[in-house]
Amino acid sequence: MIDTASLAPAFDAVSAAFPGARPAWGMVLGSGWSEAASGFETLGELSYADIPRFGAVGVAGHAGRLLWGRRAGVEAFIFRGRRHLYEGVGLEPVIMPVYLAKRFGAKAMLLTNAAGGLRKDWAPGELMVLADHINLMGVNPLIGPHDPFWGPRFPDQSAVWSPRLRKMLFEAAAAAGVALREGVYLAGSGPTYETPAEVRAFRTMGADAVGMSTVPEAIVANAAGMEVAGVTCITNMASGMLDQPLTHAEVTETTARSMEKMRALLLAFADRFASTAP
């Protein structure tokens, strides 16, 4: 389990940069999602490189900046980009957004990502609300000595993905005119893409999309008592489903084409979340 004492310098750095910050929620913008935060009033901005134990991102499509923003009168911490387990930096930077959001008093997290589709009837560019997840990353961020900051020793995962926030996402999508799927997200460690045999296995397991992120953040946020929601941009068909190799360029190109609906969904969600915030 991540020792929060080691993360305290990160809290101190953000507190110094954003005096008086009181985010009601946090949002992590994954691969290709970084520009979807436009539409928030900027109250402050800080590079991940200036936050101890966080560090600069190492993947294209991630801006690597923390935005302290406000929309509809409600503050949010918007993490434009994420760190990944496959970068070899450990789990501290991966779960840093959840730590900072919770430490500043946020009650909810919205996690976004890009993923390969496992359904032949879905097309690249479609958006999927996470209804559940499968963790095949080979690690759990709560392993280790128990730290009460992260909740109970054995947290329940019956409803990691908040039904209330999922309903709010579908309401936001309807208001914004954005089509949404719903499904199960499977996370592997990466950085390799999956093999065709793995894709067949994942489909048999009930997964609808496969990626390399998001699950560690969801596990710790849920354990810590936060509401969690997630949205995936299906950027490509997973390995073996089409007769072509997989590339990260395809991921960034698809999210760029889908940016307007991604932004519309997030802003409509922010407005609805604000209307329910205390």
How far is CA 273 from its chain centroid? 17
Of the listed 113, 162, 213, 239, which one is catalytic? 213
- Scan for tokens 């991102």, then name that residue: 57
Could you give the count of Cα atoms lying within 13 Å of 62 in the half-sphere of its Cβ? Answer: 25
Q: Are 85 and 140 in contact (CB under 8 A)?
A: no
Question: What are residue 132's DSSP bridge partners?
Answer: 184
Of the listed 63, 212, 221, 241, which one is catalytic? 212
Instruction: Identify whether 114 is a catalytic site residue.
Output: yes
Of the listed 21, 27, 31, 187, which one is catalytic? 31
Of the listed 10, 27, 63, 84, which one is catalytic? 84
Among 58, 75, 67, smallest CA distance to 29 is for 67
Of the listed 113, 222, 236, 239, which one is catalytic? 236
Class of residue 147 by CB neighbours under 10 A (exposed 0-12, middle 13-18, buried 19+): middle
Residue 135 token pair: 């963790």
Of the listed 15, 248, 259, 274, which one is catalytic? 248
Q: Are 270 and 40 in contact (CB under 8 A)?
A: yes
Residue 102 token pair: 């919770």
Q: Are 231 and 130 in contact (CB under 8 A)?
A: yes
Instruction: Identify whether 248 is a catalytic site residue.
Output: yes
Residue 124 token pair: 């690249």
Of the listed 21, 36, 114, 224, which one is catalytic? 114
Of the listed 35, 45, 87, 182, which one is catalytic? 87
- 69: helix, coil or strand? strand
CA 195, 199, 201, 205 torsion-angle sign:
positive
Instruction: Identify whether 213 is a catalytic site residue.
Output: yes
Of the listed 8, 86, 182, 189, which one is catalytic? 86
Catalytic annotation, residues: 31, 62, 84, 86-87, 114, 212-213, 236, 248
